[in-house]
Amino acid sequence: MSDELGGVGLSSIQRKIHSDVAAQGWSWIWVFDPDGERPPFAYSIGFGSSFDHPEVIVAGLPEETSESVLSSVQAMLAEGVTYGDGDTSGDILEGFDVQFREIPQDLLISSLAQASVFYGDRPFAALQLVWPDRDGNFPGGKYAPAWLSDRQALSL
């Protein structure tokens, strides 16, 4: 447990994550492909340990917007709201509903590397927060344009 308590052997990123989680209950990571071939995404770390809630991933939005979205989710969790697979919320993005979708375990391990390090051997879950186009269509929906699903694809 010395890694968690004293930061011994942790990378600077992991030390920041542990510090953030200790101070405010969560942290977040921005992940992007420098070649721009895959959509960027951000995800929470600490929702599981602090709120007994799956981590949340948001893909295809700018970094600042992603941070704001995750902060809004954290604020709702702090108020006692919880989300599960298939849930919809109008409290996260102003003027739009968002949906939450379960992330398969194999994708968690490959995509959420810093969360995997943070939790170690402890299992954790994650939900993807998906956002609609301006007409309210969600990825994979009957009228959703292809770009919407492509921009939110998690296939790292």
pLDDT, tens digit (0-9, with 9 covering 90-100), for 119-128: 998 999 999 9
In a domain, residue 65? The reply is yes
Query: What is the average pLDDT value for the chain, to the nearest integer?
Result: 90
Ranking 7-11, 12-16, 18-22, 71-75 by mean pLDDT, the lowest is: 7-11
pLDDT at 38: 87
Is 2 a residue whose pLDDT tops 80? no
Note the pTM of the prediction, 2 decimals: 0.90
In a domain, residue 57? The reply is yes
DSSP SS3 for 4: helix
Is 1 a residue whose pLDDT tops 70? no
CA-to-CA dists, residue 4 to 15, 78, 118, 120, 136, angstroms:
9, 23, 8, 10, 42
Q: Domain count of the chain?
A: 1
For residue 5, name the pLDDT band (cuts at 50, 70, 90).
very low
In a domain, residue 156? The reply is no
Tokens of 106: 């194999």
pLDDT at 155: 60
Domain span at 65: 2-151
Is 80 a residue whose pLDDT tops 60? yes
pLDDT at 10: 75
Please state, in angstroms and rounded to a whole number, the distance separating the CA atoms of residues 53 and 48: 5
In a domain, residue 119? The reply is yes
